[in-house]
Amino acid sequence: MGTLVGHVAPGFGFFLIGLWHLFNHIRLHARYPNSYTSPPWFPAPRFKYLELFLIMGGCSASIAMELFIGPDRHQPLDPDGTIPSNHLHNFEHSSISMTFFVYAAFAIVLDRIGTKAQHGLTQLLGAVAFAQQFLLFHLHSADHMGPEGQYHLLLQIVIFVSLATTLMGIGLPKSFLVSFVRSASILFQGIWLMVMGFMLWTPELIAKGCFMHLEEGHKVVRCSGHEALHRAKSLVNIQFSWFLIAITVFAVCFYLFLVKAFGEKVEYVSLTKESDDHEEQEEDYDDVESQIKKSEFENSKSFIQMGKTFSPIDMER
């Protein structure tokens, strides 16, 4: 991170994973609303572990960029083996990537072994990854005072939602809303990271009164005064609110579209079938009841006739 590509690339990865989960959770719930259970990840059609291997590949590339490719000497340490202050954020970002790599790797191992607690443990590993991400962004060594700090502050809110819903998913595996919100929050993370990359490292998009300044080998957005800084932060807040509205509208519309595509026809057929079966059962019940009444009537009639037949004999006696 720390560059346009460093934000856009991982942001695009979060966006794809969030959209993939949102699609599959909605489709699964639309097809099986009564027996729905939230899986921590989804197998791909041709390659089962594609999602997890993509996470591992993206995390490996991120770690390589932060620790080996990005630094000038292609390693992040000083000659005496210590970590220089201008590379602290590289270790922070790579630690986040390492945690997500651990999550994906153990998700594969748990699935191959097939333990009873694999879904809960996989969800727990995902929660640990989000907790690590939230902690390191909250205690980030980068500047928290400028526009970049405001972007990071709002990002922490979305990460916290992902963390909370992942923990809730351990105890509520059948809750569709928990999975829906978690998927939407992961998608929001990706979009917000990409927005950060473009807004902070594209000179034409920097707020009025602010500029790019080189500090410790990295370009940082600074503002000329308190008024310009306040305006820049307010613009970031407005952007966040607009994207929150847009993602909410998209998620609900996406849900309605997929439910119509995968769920309504199946539900209507089952309801019609159940109604027909119920009507047939009522008709059968009516036939049986009428037959019983008819039989009782015939029996009572025959009994009266038998009474009439034997009554003169009884009178003579």
Q: What is the DSSP string of the chain?
A: --SHHHHHHHHHHHHHHHHHHHHHHHHHHHH-SSS----SS---SS-TTHHHHHHHHHHHHHHHIIIIISSTTSSSS-TTSPPPGGGHHHHHHHHHHHHHHHHHHHHHHHHHHT-TTHHHHHHHHHHHHHHHHHHHHHT-SS-SSSHHHHHHHHHHHHHHHHHHHHHHHHH-TT-HHHHHHHHHHHHHHHHHHHHHHHHHH-GGGSPTTEEEEEETTEEEEEESSHHHHHHHHHHHHHHHHHHHHHHHHHHHHHHHHHHHHHTHHHHHHHHHHHHHHHHHHHHHHHHHHHHHHHHHHHHHHHHHHHHHHHHHHHHH-
Read off the pLDDT of each residue in 23-32 and give the average, rounded to a whole number.
Answer: 96
Report which of residues 119 and 3 the model is more confident about: 119
Tens digits of per-residue pLDDT, 87-121?
A: 888 899 999 999 999 999 999 999 999 988 999 99
Q: Quick one: what percent of the chain has pLDDT higher than 90? A: 63
Cβ-based neighbours of 213, under 8 Å, separated by 6 or more: 219, 220, 221, 222
How does residue 142 score in pLDDT terms, banded at 50, 70 and 90? low
Report which of residues 293 and 241 the model is more confident about: 241
Least confident residue range of 141-145, 180-184, 304-308: 304-308
**Annotated domain spans of the chain:** 4-262, 264-317
pLDDT attached to residue 1 = 63
Query: How large is the angle between the packed helices 176-201 and 147-171, nearest 10 degrees?
Result: 160
pLDDT attached to residue 289 = 46
Least confident residue range of 8-12, 146-150, 219-223, 272-276: 272-276
pTM: 0.80
Rounded to the nearest 10°, the torsion over CA 133, 248, 145, 98 is: 10
